[in-house]
Structure 1
Amino acid sequence: MAPAWDRAKRALATMLCIRFPARQRAGGEDGAVETPPPPPPHAVSVRRVSTSGSRGSKKVCAICLGGIRTGGQALFTAECSHEFHFHCISSSVNHGNYICPVCRAEWKEIPFQGTQPADNAYGRSRVSPVNWPQDEGQMSVVRRLSRGYSGNLQEQLAVFRTPETSIFNDDENIDLQSETAGEHNAVTGSVEIKTYSEFPAIQQSVRQQVFSILIHLKAPKYLDSMSSRAPLDLVTVLDVSGSMSGIKLALLKRAMSFVIQTLGPNDRLSVIAFSSTARRLFPLRRMTLTGRQQALQAISSLVASGGTNIAEGLKKGAKVVEDRRLKNSVCSIILLSDGQDTHTFLSSDEAEINYSTFVPPSILPGTGHHVQIHTFGFGTDHDSAAMHAIAEISNGTFSFIDAEGSIQDAFAQCIGGLLSVVVKDMRLCIKCIDEGVSLTSIKSGSYASQVARNERSGSVDIGDLYADEERGFLITLHVPAAQGQTVLIKPTCTYLDAITMENIQLNGEEVTIQRPAYCVDCEMSPEVEREWHRAQTTEDMSAARSAAEDGFFPQAVSILESRRRILEFHAAQSSDSQFLALIKELREMQDRVESRQRYEESGRAYMLSGLSSHSWQRATARGDSTELTTLIHTYQTPSMVDMLQRSQTILPSVVEMLNPSPTVTPPKYFSSHLPTSRHIA
């Protein structure tokens, strides 16, 4: 009976492409070893390596870079002869990767782990006879595609994927009593409020119709931002459509590996990959050592194919945020795409596309689940108008990644800010004091602001601030004639401490001006003048962009040039660094809007990222000019600069990625976690 069962089991193993080691036949006359027949050509094998076998082998798994013959792990040998840890490659297949990460061969036989479909067209269901080893290597089987394989591998293998849940409430637990909540001394001081009057005095007989005051806010700084900070929930929504194939996808994987390595054990990450459809690679998971390894493995499995469905990707990302059981104090979504949406708007007949349909209503400002979406337009073919609109609607920023090699730097700068949030839900309130003083306007950029009907008060909703981040808001007042002195306004701030979640109320000093009979040598405040020119420059950038959209490129150039000449005049007198930075930026914009071709290639995206930066007073990535990067990012914070320097220290060159050498090893920072460039899909 036993020999018959052995023969049946070997036959079944051959059909399922499962290899078994030789076995001593019981009761044999000569103690011979019964050896199973050799596998068919190109057969796929799954086996368990003995813990004593081949310890000196230098083979590594191309996905995790772990030793290929260590610790008795199940191995998978593909039909192209490359070997991988079974748990690595089965996870890779489950994430949609059906080609060899090493040689790019397209597989017709794949590993599968989990419930099998009963459809005979895709092979038989899993069989687990008595006495078969019940471990990861043998309980998992290899499935062969039907003989009628037509080349649409994605469709044929879709049935093998693990069904995705409809509710994303499987986020990993967080430690609500973590040490970061008890070390408030990691943040020094509170938000600073400073005010600058346009002039120190107004003649007593003069009624000033427009009098400007700059309200300047600065967030506190960290003593040690690495050991104590507000933990982050980050959802990355990544475009893996067909246009992302090749070097783009390789660089995206490197950038995401940097993000994963940068996040701490109290931070959580979830990744959504989208093309024609969207799929969550893994739920919100803490970036512990294990969490990082699993996240890196999932990122390594990404392949590029299909169309671009941005709305579906954001829908999945929003659901991760909305369905969380527990919440870290800081949460954000990062969206990257390199192409036009091919699913949401199929007709271009509409005069103006409503991009708000991209953003799920559940995460918009004013809802209980509101999060900022920081968008990244990658390359020259992305829809910069859509990406800018998505960011603007959600109070996030839009960055333009012109050069492929700068994607990691762009991510690093954004992460440097998100990992240093010290203030949440900030609101600035302004109250007029003396009779006759009225508030006429607030220049707040993209921040929501309002002036009361009686013009005696106003407010600005600021939201989150990074450590050391600054904001300036220019307000205008009507000031009546008076004697002695006039008390104009009193500013106050309310916000949540991002670490302790304590409510803070901060009272600024009252702003007063003198009212002499005559004013002599009253000079305008340089702080107010600087902010006024920045606001005017932003408005001119917006006007130039509108002219370019209407096809009036000479007019767009003229608007930018006129503002640049004004700034050059003032810079010659004061040598102000902000004036110099704006001049450089305006000159770059002029060059990118001089023709329709230039504007559509990079001008639109460059201008929109600049408008995003100035309207939110927050650093964004723009273009590919290294010189410009150092000059125009006046909104960079120390934590952003530090993260950017870390990225540039370990960033592999684009030349290395395009022309990998067999002897090249990955940067030391990633040496134990990331495949070398020749292994990246």
Structure 2
Amino acid sequence: MEGAWRKVRRALGLRLCVHAPRVGGCERRAPAGVGGCRRDVAVTVAASAAEGESGPITPADALRRSTSRGRSSSSSKGKCAICFATMRSGHGQALFTAECSHMFHFQCISSNVKHGNYVCPVCRAKWKEIPCRSLSSNSPAGRIGINQRSPQQDPLMALNRQVPNRRRDARRLRTPEPADYNDDEPLQHKEAFDNLNFGSSRTAGISSYPEFLAVPQSSSIDGFDILIHVKAPTASPDHVTVSLANESSVRSTSRAPVDLITVLDVSGSMAGTKLALLKLSMGFVVQHLGPSDRLSVIAFSSTARRLFPLRRMSHHGRQQALQKINSLGAGGGTNIADALKKAMKVIEDRSYKNSVCSIVLLSDGQDSYNISSNVQGTSADHRPLVPSSIINDERNMVPLHAFGFGADHDSDTLHSIAEASGGTFSFIEDEGVMQDAFAQCIGGLLSVAVREMRLSMECVDPGVQLCSIRCGSYPSKVARDGRNGSVDIGHLYADEERDILLAVTIPKSREQTSLLRVACAYRDPVTNETIKIQGDEVKIKRPTSIVSEPVSIEVDRERNRIQAANSIESARAAAERGTLSEAVTILEDCRRVLSESFASQSGDRLCMALDAELREMQERMANRQLYEASGRAYMLSGLSSHSWQRATARGDSTDSTTLVYSYQTPSMVHMLQDSQNHSWRSLMQGNSPLSRQ
């Protein structure tokens, strides 16, 4: 008898509904439906334990055994086939209807399937979808496809099952957020860097390319193009990132430390695999931040909450961050504005400031609280989503890099937010590359080599005037008299390059003409030292007769890129008007013009990549449904990449053919390779940082 009771207690420990075995001729009875199981099923469980049977016994197992002993199971309409209690909606119990049309209490059937029983207890039909509460913490009746893998074999399911649903406890124990977010952790002590050589002999470089090297003396030209090429310093040899395989390699580096605020969508649509991949991606980010970097996480659904203040990613800080991230559950609506306001409050209220600061926003849905509805095709109003501090401070903007996930996200909104802040918009079409997209972005943020760069140009010859500056979304100014101008480039990652196309007026002249002087000034993000660089004067020869001279391939290449970007914008506008055929024609015409250019006929790789990009966009405009699902987001991500000349993730991969020229830097490529080497392999082997929590 003692052994029987021990096994009954073991069954109770598994949260099965059982009743005690008979003692002294007395049997305890319970009314039907109490505890979620029928009396005869409970007795079968207890009897099986007394007989010495091993392994967990579910109520459905007991039901089958009791049926085999001659007891008839009721399958009357309106009763659960497991507990035989009445099933009525609105009576406080969740219901589950299987593919075979049999209905059960969710509590009863979930106990059945959690031990691997994926068949209907009534008709024995095999299920393709099963009730699984661990993948939908917000819904009591979530479903997941079996995919011929048990939860123990599926790493994403295992990741979600590691942290129990503690929403009720969290709601009870959660302390209210402070009125001011000035509780950020102090920066790493300066003494920790005293023995490191932060100085670098590397500086940014400036190159100039006139459209032609010679212009006849008798010619005056309006709109003579000059390309200004700027390249940031190369990453230092001792630049080290955190390795997932060897955390002991973490040490301070010569790069600038970062304050990073990640704003994560945990609305109901993120439940399941999406949330698991988000946790995995954030685990990768956390592990690659160094002890001088600080991280704060804002999670949002119907409302936003700060998971923790800006905290240095020391060993202890990383462990706490991973625990908070891993405890996230999904549920509710999508309130992007509330999340961004909290993110900006974290930045504005911080007591200490690292030299580099950025926001990363990920969402898979549309804001359901703050955007004005479209009326007769007019554009939605995105202004309520963007904090005024992002728009009003051009010189000290905090770039917000937005990631749109899946086919249902609002790419227009996310692109507008990113554009207003000086950040990029990326389109993650395939959920499997979410971590790669994050890795590429983080690879750039952890290699900032230039801050507050301003490029200035001044006309030299009295007859030369500056007509225009083509620099994408970067703020630029041209003086009224056309004698000088400037471009605010802001911060650059190590090895990043920028191309600025100027147009000037050239007068007639009998002598060599000096057109421009170009210079730039920026701050070193590590030493905060102001560095000034003077470029060479741009000069052209003035022969007496016309000479046959090819156009500069550098200038022609940049003109092709600008023309492609303008065509993409025009095609998008046509598509939004509902004329997809016109949009496709615009892109086709641009491809034809590019193919006839000097750079293209010289075999330029950029022209080949531009053609592939435009062709991909044409294919995504084959019909309205395809355009709505992926074409719009793909085009907006491309526009974001071209306007800032910075890498974005596009489509289903960060390594597609159209991204040959994707502005990726060596640091981005290195981080992307690290992500691809450590994502699924680490998770399958149990080496993922989140799998260790």
Q: Counterpart in 2 of 1:520?
A: 547
Letter of the aligned partner of 2:355 in structure 1?
A: S
Q: Name which of 194, 212, 217 aligns with 2:225.
A: 212
The answer as to whether partners of 2:395 and 2:452 remain within 8 angstroms in 1 is: no
Moved more, 350-359 or 444-453: 350-359
1:174-323 equivalent positions in 2, closer than 5 A: 174-175=187-188, 177=190, 183=196, 187-222=200-235, 223-226=237-240, 227-323=253-349
How far apart in 2 are the matches of 1:665 and 1:269? 27
TM-score, normalised by the number of residues in structure 1: 0.74
Aligned residue in 1 for 2:460: 433
Question: 1:18: which partner in 2?
Answer: none
| Deviation string, structure 1 residues 629-650 (Cα, Å, up to 9, x no partner) | 5744430000000000000001
Q: Match of 1:171, SS?
A: coil
- Report the AA paired with residue 584 of structure 1: A
Out of 413, 427, 451, which is 1:400 matched to?
Answer: 427
1:608 equivalent among 625, 632, 636: 636
The within-5 A match list for 1:411-490 is 411-490=438-517
Deviation sequence 1:341-369 (CA, Å, 0-9, x none): 00112643483333132121123352686
SS at match of 2:636: helix
One-letter amino acid of the structure 2 residue matched with residue 294 of structure 1: Q
Deviations 1:495-546 (A, max 9, x none): 1011111011111111111111113222111101101111111111110111
Q: Aligned residue for 1:675?
A: 691
Q: Tell me how far apart the structure 1 counterparts of residues 494 and 322 of structure 2 sit (CA, whole Å).
A: 29
Deviation at 1:566, TM superposition (A): 2.6
Q: Provide the rounded CA distance (Å) in 2 between the counterparts of 1:675 and 1:414.
A: 23
Structure 1 residues 623 and 218: CA distance shift in structure 2, 3 A:
same
Could you tell me whether the CA contact under 8 Å between 2:514 and 2:539 is conserved in 1?
yes
Cα 1:386–1:224 change in 2 (3 A) is same
Deviation at residue 155 of structure 1 after TM alignment: 8.4
CA deviation after TM superposition for structure 1 residue 426, in Å: 0.4
Three-state SS of the structure 1 residue aligned to 2:190 is coil
AA aligned to 1:297 is Q
From the superposition, tell whether residues 633 and 255 of structure 1 become closer, same or farther in structure 2 (CA, over 3 Å). farther
Pairing of 1:325-404 with structure 2 (within 5 A): 325-345=351-371, 347-349=373-375, 351-364=378-391, 366=393, 370-404=397-431
AA at the equivalent of 2:302: S
Aligned counterparts of 2:385 and 2:524: Cα–Cα separation in 1:
31
Alignment of 1:617-636 (within 5 A): 617-625=645-653, 628=656, 631-636=659-664
**What does residue 602 of structure 2 align with?**
574
8 Å Cα contact 2:453-2:522 kept in structure 1: yes
Checking the alignment, whether the CA contact within 8 Å between 1:296 and 1:674 is kept in structure 2 is yes
Closer, same or farther in 2 for the Cα pair 1:387/1:426, shift >3 Å? same
> Gaps (5+ residues) in structure 1?
1-40, 43-79, 81-98, 108-151, 658-663
Distance 1:592 1:630, change over 3 A: closer
Equivalent residues of 1:186, 1:229 under 8 A apart: no
| Residues 595/187 of structure 1: CA separation in 2 closer, same or farther (3 Å cut) | farther
Alignment of 1:489-504 (within 5 A): 489-504=516-531
| Counterparts in 2 of 1:346 and 1:366: CA distance versus 1, 3 Å | closer
- Percent identity at matched positions? 54
The code of the aligned residue for 2:552 comes to S
Amino acid in the other structure paired with 1:256: M
Per-residue CA distance 1:446-475 (angstroms, 9 max, x = gap): 001111111111110100000000000000
> C-alpha distance in 1, partners of 2:136/2:420?
43
Tell me the amino acid that sits aligned with residue 675 of structure 1: S
Conserved? CA contact 1:180–1:229, under 8 Å: no
Deviations 1:418-453 (A, max 9, x none): 000010000011100111100000001000111111
* Counterpart-to-counterpart distance in 2, 1:186 and 1:625: 37
| Amino acid of the structure 2 residue aligned with 1:548 | A
Question: 1:317-355 CA deviation, whole Å, 9 max, x = no partner?
Answer: 111111110000000000000000001126434833331
Aligned equivalents of 1:103 and 1:559: distance in 2? 45
- Cα distance, 1:105 vs. partner? 11
Kindly state the Cα deviation for residue 153 of structure 1 after the two structures are TM-superposed.
Answer: 9.9
For the Cα contact (< 8 Å) 1:585–1:628, is it kept in 2?
no
User: What letter matches 2:239 in structure 1?
Assistant: S
Given that residues 286 and 322 in structure 2 are in contact (C-alpha distance below 8 angstroms), is that contact kept between their aligned partners in structure 1?
Answer: yes
Partner of residue 77, structure 1: none
In structure 2, the CA distance between the partners of 1:182 and 1:153, relative to structure 1 (3 Å rule), is closer
Counterpart CA distance in 2 for 1:203 and 1:181 is 59
Does structure 2 retain, via aligned residues, the 8 Å contact 1:365–1:371?
A: no
Contact 1:397 1:620 in 2 (8 A): yes
SS in 2 for 1:297: helix
Q: Flag the 1:604–1:417 CA change in 2: closer, same or farther, 3 A.
A: same
SS at match of 2:455: strand
Q: Measure, in 1, the Cα distance between the counterparts of 2:479 and 2:138.
A: 66
Shift in Å at residue 180 of structure 1?
5.3
After superposition, the Cα gap between the structure-2 partners of 1:100 and 1:628, relative to the gap in structure 1 and judged at 3 Å, is closer
1:174–1:353 Cα change, 3 Å: same
1:248-305 deviations in Å (ceiling 9; x for gaps): 0000000000000000000000000000000000000000110000000000000000
- Supply the AA of the counterpart residue of 1:167: D
Structure 2: segments with no counterpart, 5+ residues? 1-34, 37-110, 112-131, 141-164, 241-252
Specify which of 524, 537, 556 is matched with residue 564 of structure 2: 537
Alignment TM-score, normalising by the size of structure 2: 0.72
Measure, in 2, the Cα distance between the counterparts of 1:208 and 1:367: 34
For the 8 Å contact 1:253–1:299, the answer to whether it is kept is yes
CA 1:450/1:180 → structure 2, altered by over 3 Å: closer, same or farther? farther
Superposed CA offset, 1:36-93 (max 9, x none): xxxxx99xxxxxxxxxxxxxxxxxxxxxxxxxxxxxxxxxxxxx9xxxxxxxxxxxxx
Q: Confirm or deny: 8 A CA contact 1:429 1:457 kept in the other structure.
A: yes
Cα RMSD, aligned residues only: 2.7
After superposition, the Cα gap between the structure-2 partners of 1:459 and 1:369, relative to the gap in structure 1 and judged at 3 Å, is closer
Of residues 236-245 and 478-487 in structure 1, the stretch that sits farther from structure 2 once superposed is 478-487
Q: Secondary structure at the match of 1:202?
A: coil
Cα distance change, pair 346–212 in 1 and its aligned pair in 2 (3 A): closer
- Quote the Cα distance in structure 1 between the aligned partners of 2:650 and 2:538: 38
Total equivalences in the alignment: 528
For 1:213, give the aligned amino acid: I
Code of the residue aligned with 1:418 in structure 2: it is L
In structure 1, what is the Cα distance between the partners aligned to 2:338 and 2:584? 38
Cα distance in 2, alignment partners of residues 489 and 214 from structure 1: 11
**2:367 maps to amino acid:** D
Q: Is the 8 A contact 1:620 1:633 kept in 2?
A: no
Change (3 A) 1:308 1:371: same
Whether the 8 Å CA contact 1:180–1:499 is kept in 2: the answer is no
Matches within 5 A, 1:76-87: none
User: How big is the shift at 1:612?
Assistant: 0.2
Question: 1:132 corresponds to which residue?
Answer: none
